[in-house]
Amino acid sequence: MDFSGKTIVVTGGTGALGSAVVGLLLSAGAACRVPYVHDAEMQQFSHKDKVTLIAVKNLADEVDVAKLYDGLKGLWASIHIAGGFEPGSVADTDKAALMGQIESNLVSCFLCCRAAVRAMKCRGRIVNVAARPALEWRSGAGMSAYTASKAGVAALTASLAEEVAKDGILVNAVAPSIMDTPANRKAMPKADFAKWPKVDDVAATIVFLASDDNLVTRGGIVPVYGQS
């Protein structure tokens, strides 16, 4: 895949999955714009000298999202990995926690999708990140607020894909199960890590969907489960 001359926004680009995505894009010639919230997050980002870094406070804020996309002309792709996870039963989840999940996962994705569509000229790619519970709702027991927010991302993806297909913009999402990251291994030390999807493999799926090699796939919520 060749991304030479293509500008791509990657939210959540400084995280484990985002860093893998950015690395693949850079190796294929892309120019990447990556937002960050904390200076420490930016300093430890392995690709910081090869991308355009934009300081933002909150991707669920219209002003901050406008700052991220400001001045972009002919944006090719926008990849939305940023989000948050907060487990908890419905009985133990108050409105503030629910709205926190909706803001960090659904609202941020919606606002970035809106900004991306406005910045694209006739053709482009948008890739969102949902989650396995977005497709398999019963698996979201014990994390219903997160599940509802990611199900919203899936629905947004499918509806937006239909809305902008006429403009040559293909919108898709991936839905990972628990990925093999150091943080997840630490949180679940007794899990069978071999079955978890590897970050590099999930990143490769995202990059394909964001490429012009993807000619026909739109409105897809692609399961990336590995063997789990």
Helices and strands (DSSP H and E) totals, the chain: 9, 7
For 62, the enclosing helix (H) or strand (E) is helix 62-69
pLDDT at position 122: 83
Q: pTM value?
A: 0.96
Give the span between the Cα atoms of 203 and 201, in whole angstroms.
5
Sign of the C-alpha dihedral computed for residues 103, 108, 109 and 115 taken in this order: positive
Sheet hosting strand 221-224, strand order edge to edge: 52-55, 31-36, 7-11, 77-80, 124-129, 169-176, 221-224
Per CATH, is 7-224 categorized as 3.90.1150.10?
no
Q: Which residues contact 223 (CB under 8 A, 6 or more apart)?
A: 132, 135, 174, 175, 177
Sign of the C-alpha dihedral computed for residues 200, 53, 128 and 166 taken in this order: negative
pLDDT at position 82: 97
Residue showing tokens 């990140």 = 129
For 8, the enclosing helix (H) or strand (E) is strand 7-11
Structure tokens, 105: 């996962």
∠ Cα 205 208 211 (to 5°): 155
Q: Which of 147, 137, 130 is nearest to 206 (CA)?
A: 130
pLDDT at position 73: 81
In tens digits, the chain (228 residues) has pLDDT values of: 999 999 999 999 999 999 999 999 999 999 999 999 999 999 999 999 999 999 999 999 999 999 999 989 889 999 999 999 999 999 999 999 999 999 999 999 999 999 999 999 789 999 999 999 999 999 999 999 999 999 999 999 999 999 999 999 999 999 999 999 999 999 999 999 999 999 999 999 999 999 999 999 999 999 999 998
- Domain regions of the chain by residue span: 7-224
Q: Which residues of 91-102 are buried (b: 16+ CB within 10 A; e: fewer)?
A: eebeeeebebbb
